[in-house]
Amino acid sequence: MLINIDLQANEPIYEQLKNQIMIRIARKELKPGDGLPSVRIFAADLGINLHTVNKAYQQLKQEGFILIHRQKGVVINPEIPSADGEYEEKLTRLLRPLIAESACRGMTEVEFTSFCRQLFHQLTEEGDEG
Amino acid sequence: MLINIDLQANEPIYEQLKNQIMIRIARKELKPGDGLPSVRIFAADLGINLHTVNKAYQQLKQEGFILIHRQKGVVINPEIPSADGEYEEKLTRLLRPLIAESACRGMTEVEFTSFCRQLFHQLTEEGDEG
DNA sequence: TTAACTGTTATATTTAAAGTATAACAGTTA
DNA sequence: TAACTGTTATACTTTAAATATAACAGTTAA
């Protein structure tokens, strides 16, 4: 698990952890059924507290990305819930300010969507680890 | 200035304010040279503190969206800085987690970019106020 | 059985950000 | 002079994030 955490960043550590794990699932560096470190091991590796890892795990579990078996450990969910109406609402809420600022700064619709397409590519096609 | 603020939301009030103003600039409901309420008036209208409005204004000024003349008030900047490398870095940092989660949830590149295109349209083409 | 490991829960504490409450200053305008 | 600007300063409360310990319940291997 090559995870980089920036302790100085504005973004909360547990959010960074969630994002890093989701990014690795998208890149297929983490595949369905793959295991994640225990909260204690992961916390020790990253030099952070056990509860911070646990908070990330609990939210990832709540959102359907991982399964937690009491003594078997943490595993990537083979059936991550598809994007539904609720998720699209969340996505809209988060994307709208980014699109607004980009438009204010002169980016066209084509420029913005091309930018997204390129990022999407990097996240799903790049790398040899998957 | 029809601005809606949700005092119960997780998103900080000054962030909501910044976003609402940027969205209205993108929609051309706010045009170059248009004035914004004074910090005191705006705060009173929204039922919040003067400093919260001031914080939003200071950041919008810092990012080039507004001009502040000491006694003349606050005005939409006619020359909002274009998207540069630094902005694209920020945009990448904010978009990557959204794209990763969308990919995990089965959205394709086409579906995601279409979603963005639609949102972009709503923000720049919709409404009669502009 | 014992020891070592899981996730989970509880409690207490520290730190930083967000927001509020007042107050004052300096400059402009009617 | 009075009323309005943005700005700055100080003090306070509330909340979220993160840490520090400790313990519990269940599993697994020695």
B124–chain A Cβ distance below 8 A for any pair: yes
CA A1 to C1' C17, in angstroms, rounded, equals: 31
Query: Domain check: are A101 and A68 in the same one?
Result: no
Q: Looking at the domain assignment, is residue A35 inside a domain? A: yes
Query: Domain check: are B93 and B114 in the same one?
Result: yes
pLDDT tens digits for A48-65? Answer: 999 999 999 999 999 999
B123 vs A100: CA distance, rounded Å = 7
> Going residue by residue through chain B (130 aa), what tens digit of pLDDT does each one get?
679 999 999 999 999 999 999 999 999 999 999 999 999 999 999 999 999 999 999 999 999 999 998 777 899 999 999 999 999 999 999 999 999 999 999 999 999 999 999 999 999 885 654 4
Q: Distances in Å between the alpha carbon of B90 and those of A40, A53, A98, B17?
A: 32, 26, 10, 19
Q: Looking at the domain assignment, is residue A1 inside a domain? A: no
Inter-residue contact A43 to A50 (CB < 8 Å) = yes
**What type of residue is A25?**
I
CA B52 to C1' C22, in angstroms, rounded, equals: 15
Q: Looking at the domain assignment, is residue B6 inside a domain? A: no
A52 vs A54: CA distance, rounded Å = 5
Q: Is residue A105's beta carbon less than 7 angstroms from any atom in nucleic acid strand C?
A: no
Do residue B123 and residue A96 have CB atoms under 8 angstroms apart?
A: yes
Can you give the residue range of the structural domain that contains B54? Answer: 13-76
A9–chain B Cβ distance below 8 A for any pair: no
Query: Domain check: are A19 and A47 in the same one?
Result: yes
- Write the DSSP assignment of chain B as a string of letters: ------TTSSS-HHHHHHHHHHHHHHTTSS-TT-EE--HHHHHHHHTS-HHHHHHHHHHHHHTTSEEEETTTEEEE-TTPPPP-HHHHHHHHHHHHHHHHHHHHTT--HHHHHHHHHHHHHHHHT--S--
Query: Domain check: are A61 and A98 in the same one?
Result: no
Q: Looking at the domain assignment, is residue B89 inside a domain? A: yes
Q: Looking at the domain assignment, is residue B130 inside a domain? A: no
Note the pLDDT of residue B125: 80
> Residue B65 maps to which CATH number?
1.10.10.10
Domains in chain B, number: 2
How many Å lie between the alpha carbon of B99 and the closest alpha carbon of chain A?
6
Q: Looking at the domain assignment, is residue A6 inside a domain? A: no
**Residue in B82, B97, B117 closest to A106 by CB:** B82
Helix axes B13-26, B50-62, angle to 10 degrees: 50
Q: Distances in Å between the alpha carbon of B60 and those of A81, B105, B121?
A: 38, 34, 24
Inter-residue contact A85 to A42 (CB < 8 Å) = no
Query: Domain check: are A65 and A23 in the same one?
Result: yes
Query: Domain check: are A93 and A71 in the same one?
Result: no
Inter-residue contact A130 to A122 (CB < 8 Å) = no
Query: Domain check: are A17 and A70 in the same one?
Result: yes
Higher pLDDT, B4 or A2: B4
Query: Domain check: are B61 and B94 in the same one?
Result: no
A19 falls in which pLDDT band (50, 70, 90)? very high
Query: Domain check: are A29 and A59 in the same one?
Result: yes
Q: Looking at the domain assignment, is residue A130 inside a domain? A: no
Q: Looking at the domain assignment, is residue A5 inside a domain? A: no
| Residue carrying structure tokens 């960074």 | A16
Q: Which residues does nucleic strand D approach, with CB less than 7 A?
A: A 7, 12-15, 47-52, 55, 70-72; B 37-41, 50-51, 54, 57-58, 61, 68, 70-71, 73-74
From the list A79, A2, A64, the residue with the least C-alpha distance to A33 is A79
Inter-residue contact B120 to A113 (CB < 8 Å) = yes
Which residues of B fall within a CB distance of 8 Å from A77? none
Query: Domain check: are B66 and B94 in the same one?
Result: no
Inform me whether the pLDDT recorded for A71 exceeds 80: no
Instruction: Name the helix (H) or strand (E) containing A61.
Output: helix A50-62
Query: Domain check: are A90 and A68 in the same one?
Result: no
Query: Domain check: are B64 and B39 in the same one?
Result: yes
CA A129 to C1' C20, in angstroms, rounded, equals: 51
Question: How, if at all, do strands B35-36 and B73-76 pair?
Answer: antiparallel
